[in-house]
Amino acid sequence: MASAELERLRWPRVVGAPHPLLAAHLARRHTGFVERTRPRHLVVPASAAVVVVVKLRDSAYRPAAFVKGPRHAHLVPEGECAASYLEMWIRPLSGYTLLGVPLNALGDQLADLRDLLGADGRRLAEQLCDASTWRHRFAIVDRFLLERLDGGPRPSPEVARVLQRLVATGGAARIGHLAREVGWSHKHLITRFTQQVGLSPKAAARLVRFARVLRTLDQPGAPRWERIAAETGYADQSHLVREFRTFTGVTPTAFVSR
C-alpha cells in the first residue's frame, strides 16, 4: 500500500508534501478529501489565497474543476460537497501568475477552471480523475503548478513590496504611506494591487491582521479575547467579533469549538 494511502487511513484527510520549488507559492499543502472525511457542506472562509478545486467524483453543484478567488468575506456555496476532491491553496501573487488574469475579474463567483485555462484546465481535471493513488495525483498537481508558474505573468515589484510590508507590519501599515514608498499614487496602487492580489490593500490588511489572531489560538489555554483584540490591533473585543463573523461566518467561541 502506498504511503499516501496509509496516510488517508490514519488522518481525516490526505495531505501531500508539495515539490520544494512550490513552497513559496502555496498557502497550504495539497489536500485531498474522500467520502468519509469530506465536510457535508462548505463554509469557505475569507482568504487572500486562490483556491483551485478538482472533483475526483463529480456532483450536481459547481463545475467539475473550479477556482475561488481571494475574498474579504466568507462564502457558503449551495449544496453538498462532492464525494471526493482535491484542493490547492495558492498565494495571491502566485495565483495571478498561475491563472494569467486579473484576480479581481474572478469576482464573488466560483469560476470554471476549464474556462479560465482552456486545454490546461481540462487536462489537469482528466489526469487527476484517471490517477489511481494520491501520490500520483499530488505529482500531477506539482507538475501542473510548476509549468504554469514558470510561464505566467509576473506581478509588479511595487505590488509585491506593498503586500510584503502589510504582512511584515501585521496589516498596520498605512496604505498612503506604502504608495509613497513605491512611488505610486494612492489610486494607482489600489488599482494595480486589486488586479494582482484580488483584494484592495485595505481588505488585504484586514486579513493579515486576522491571521495574527488565528496564530494566537495555537497557544495553550483558553483564548482571552479582550487581550487578543488589543494585542492584534482591534479597537475592542466587539470589533474582533465582527471580523470573525465576516471572515468565518461564526463567533470566535464557535470557531474555536469546531
Q: Are residues 32 and 93 in the same domain?
A: yes
99-127: average pLDDT: 92
Tell me, what's the pLDDT at 11?
A: 45
Tell me, what's the pLDDT at 238?
A: 95
Percent of the chain residues past pLDDT 90, beyond the cut: 72
Looking at 131, 151, 171, the residue that finishes a domain is 151
- For residues 58, 62, 64, 70, the Cα torsion angle rounded to the nearest 10 degrees is -140
Rounded to whole angstroms, the Cα distance separating 50 from 104 reads 11
Structural domain tally of the chain?
A: 2
Q: Are residues 57 and 178 in the same domain?
A: no
pLDDT bracket for residue 173 (50, 70, 90) = very high
Q: What is the pLDDT of residues 232-244, one digit of tens each?
A: 999 999 999 999 9
Assigned C-alpha cell, 190: 489600489
Of 76 and 87, the structure prediction assigns the larger pLDDT to: 87
Q: What is the pLDDT of residues 219-235, one digit of tens each?
A: 777 789 999 999 999 99
Rounded to whole angstroms, the Cα distance separating 198 from 3 reads 37
Handedness of CA 199, 203, 204, 210 (dihedral sign): negative
Best CA proximity match to 28, nearest among 9, 42, 14, 7: 14
Of 97 and 3, the structure prediction assigns the larger pLDDT to: 97
Best CA proximity match to 256, nearest among 213, 210, 217: 217
Rounded to whole angstroms, the Cα distance separating 203 from 238 reads 19
Q: Are residues 35 and 100 in the same domain?
A: yes
Of 43 and 144, the structure prediction assigns the larger pLDDT to: 144
Looking at 151, 168, 187, the residue that finishes a domain is 151
Tell me, what's the pLDDT at 36?
A: 63
Rounded to whole angstroms, the Cα distance separating 233 from 103 reads 28
**N-term to C-term CA, the chain:** 32
87-91: average pLDDT: 95
Q: Are residues 28 and 76 in the same domain?
A: yes
Q: What is the average pLDDT value for the chain, to the nearest integer?
A: 89
Q: Are residues 127 and 65 in the same domain?
A: yes
Residues with Cβ within 8 Å of 82's Cβ and at least 6 positions away in sequence, in order, are 38, 55, 56, 57, 58, 59, 61, 62
Q: Are residues 124 and 46 in the same domain?
A: yes
Looking at 151, 168, 195, the residue that finishes a domain is 151
Q: What is the pLDDT of residues 190-199, one digit of tens each?
A: 999 999 999 9
DSSP 69: -
Q: Are residues 134 and 17 in the same domain?
A: yes
Q: Are residues 66 and 187 in the same domain?
A: no
**Structural contact between residues 74 and 111, judged by C-beta atoms closer than 8 angstroms:** no
Q: Are residues 211 and 133 in the same domain?
A: no
3-state secondary structure of 130: helix
State which residues form the domain around 197.
Answer: 157-257
Q: Are residues 137 and 198 in the same domain?
A: no
CATH classification at residue 212 = 1.10.10.60
Laid out side by side, the sheet with 14-16 consists of 14-16, 30-33, 84-90, 50-57, 65-68, 110-112
**Structural contact between residues 22 and 146, judged by C-beta atoms closer than 8 angstroms:** yes
Q: Are residues 125 and 207 in the same domain?
A: no
Q: Are residues 166 and 239 in the same domain?
A: yes
- pTM value is 0.88
DSSP 20: G
Is residue 97 scored above 90 in pLDDT?
yes
